[in-house]
Structure 1
Amino acid sequence: MEAFQLIRYTAADFAVFYSLVQDDNVMRYVSGQGLTEEQARKKFDSILEVNAIDPALGYFKIYDQGIYLGDGKMEWNKRDNTQLEIGYILQEKYWGKGYGTKICKALLAIAERTHPSTPIIGLIDPANLASKKLLEKFGFKSYFVGEEDGLPTEKLILKKGQ
């Protein structure tokens, strides 16, 4: 068994996804609170649609030594399809243990292999200082702080090939 793995979500993975996104603390900086089963199902269905578009990009379950840590994504940005978008959610018990760095490194490697010159954005809650610090560690720069889709939002970008 590999130490650290990103495995694309499939239709059989709803239970593991729901176990992550129903947690209020985990989702505090994503949606403000944990998702209901109905909300989680809707989001999961959209994840499967994204995963069907491009075999290299999408949403991934993240494991270390066979233990489910959370999920990550590298997908085309819905508002600007000339940019990729990175994202990640970790179970709370794995916060502050260096997994965010491993996850970002793995997701950025996917982008580098598949779309090496495409800019990548990260959307975070401005109050999520740990996530901002993590993205900045990889060279992302903040370019927007405000509200988007009714949520506080900060956008950071990693420009490629410049």
Structure 2
Amino acid sequence: MFRELVKDDEIMRYISGKGLTSKQAEDKFNAILEINATPHLGYFKVISLDRQLFLGDCKLVSYKKDPSVFEIGYLLKKRFWGQGIGTKICESMLAMASRINAQKDIVGIIDPDNAASRALLVKFGFESFFLGVEDDVPTEKLILKRT
């Protein structure tokens, strides 16, 4: 499931610029397994409850540049874009973050060209605080201040 999701160039355009190779996907999956060892945080499958379909994945993790902040993220198969699923994912991830620590700020990191992702985060109160290049990738960071 994971490999099929992350090999797609169109899906990964705003994440890594293009789909991952088999080796990159394996390395990413192993990194996810390490992150998922952290209690209450990690990467999660997004499943349609009514049809039991794999839709994509999402994450709530400690932000690697500042562990006092959460980071959320989401990735959906193309056929599920534009159906309000991103809104449901954000609602769930923000609710989970509140249960874990309602005072922690939350960061979302996007490609600056991903207008849909920006609109989704802004809808939940996130504000842009960084626009530039990070790790050789165009990057915009938005934050939801909760303190």
The CA distance in 2 between the partners of 1:107 and 1:23, in whole Å, is 24
By how many angstroms is 1:74 displaced?
0.3
Per the alignment, residue 149 of structure 1 pairs with 135
1:4-19 to 2 correspondences below 5 Å: 16-19=1-4
By how many angstroms is 1:147 displaced?
0.2
Q: Aligned letter for 2:46?
A: I
Tell me which of 97, 110, 114 is aligned to 1:124: 110
The CA distance in 1 between the partners of 2:73 and 2:63, in whole Å, is 11
- Give every structure 1 segment of 4 or more consecutive aligned residues whose post-TM-superposition deviation is greater than 2 Å: none
Percent identity over the alignment? 53
Consecutive unaligned residues of structure 1, counting only runs of 5 or more, are: 1-15
By how many angstroms is 1:50 displaced?
0.3
Q: Aligned letter for 2:112?
A: P
The CA distance in 1 between the partners of 2:8 and 2:17, in whole Å, is 10
How many residue pairs end up in the alignment?
145
Q: Aligned letter for 1:146?
A: G
Tell me which of 1, 15, 18 is aligned to 1:33: 18
By how many angstroms is 1:53 displaced?
1.8
The CA distance in 2 between the partners of 1:20 and 1:112, in whole Å, is 28
Per the alignment, residue 3 of structure 1 pairs with none
Name the SS for the 1:143 alignment partner: strand
By how many angstroms is 1:91 displaced?
0.3
TM-score by length of 2: 0.97
Alignment root-mean-square deviation, CA = 0.6
Cα offsets for 1:83-141 (capped at 9, x unmatched): 10000000011000100000100111110100110000000000000000000000000
